[in-house]
Amino acid sequence: MADFYTQFPATLDFVHLSNPDQNGKYSLLVLFDSTTEEGVKDIKAVSDAIKEAVARGCTEKDRRTNAPVFAGKDPDDKAFFSTLQLPIKNADKDVLTRGDNAGKVRSEVYPEMKGKIVLTCKTKDNLLEQGLVFGSDRKPVPAAQLYSGMQGRVGVWFTPYDNNGNRGVSARLVSVLRTGDGERLTTGHNTDPFVGFGLPPVDDGETQSNAFDAMGI
């Protein structure tokens, strides 16, 4: 089970659910619309969940080290908080640091992100194989129906981490609810290797009984 679920459908971008991304992880971006009431509600909920994860990192002992991940830090210290790498970014302010677009503002490179708050979700697990990518009918979604631009909700774990002084909070993707179609985005990754053959979608079988109970479906 995830510890957080987005409440409203949002555009999913850079969807890598059937094939891992260049870092060997399955991932996607959730684009929250900061101009809508629903978008603002989810943005606040995500921000609050991240703050709670930071607080846990300052107080709860890690099983591996028997000490808090952020030992000795105050979660209310704004200076400390500002040093953390967080999975949520304002696309109109976030400056890309890698590749050919380094130094450019994210929303200038990817127009679909203008006015959006972006949540980066990753996992090393193949959620498709585990039956954790569903539609509103609770049935598994074929890979051919997964693309950048579709609408969906996600379940995630927000986890504090400290990798040799590189501190932050990660959003581990646990489940995906595909809520509907959307405009296909050119920035995406085609997840169906047989798309060019015009074959019908694969029936992925039976549903998983309670994977999305917390999403209210």
CB 67 within 8 A of CB 57: no
User: Which DSSP state fits 164?
Assistant: T
For domain 4-215, give the fold. OB fold (Dihydrolipoamide Acetyltransferase, E2P) (2.40.50)
Q: Which two tokens stand for residue 164?
A: 């040799």
| Cα 81 from Cα 68, distance rounded (Å) | 15
| Cα 81 from Cα 163, distance rounded (Å) | 16
Q: Which residues of 108-142 are buried (b: 16+ CB within 10 A; e: fewer)?
A: eebebbebbbbbbbbbeeebbeebbbbbbebebbb
pLDDT of residue 2: 61
Burial class (CB in 10 A: 0-12, 13-18, 19+), 43: buried
Residues of the chain with pLDDT under 50: 1, 187-197, 199, 201-217
For 17-26, the pLDDT digits (tens) are 998 877 889 9
pLDDT of residue 62: 86
Domain definitions of the chain by residue range? 4-215
In 3D, which of 70, 53, 176 has the Cα closest to residue 45? 53
| All residues at 6 or more sequence positions from 57 whose CB lies less than 8 Å from its CB, including other chains | 68, 69, 70, 73, 75, 160, 161, 162, 169
H/E run at residue 156: strand 151-163
For 145-155, the pLDDT digits (tens) are 999 999 999 99
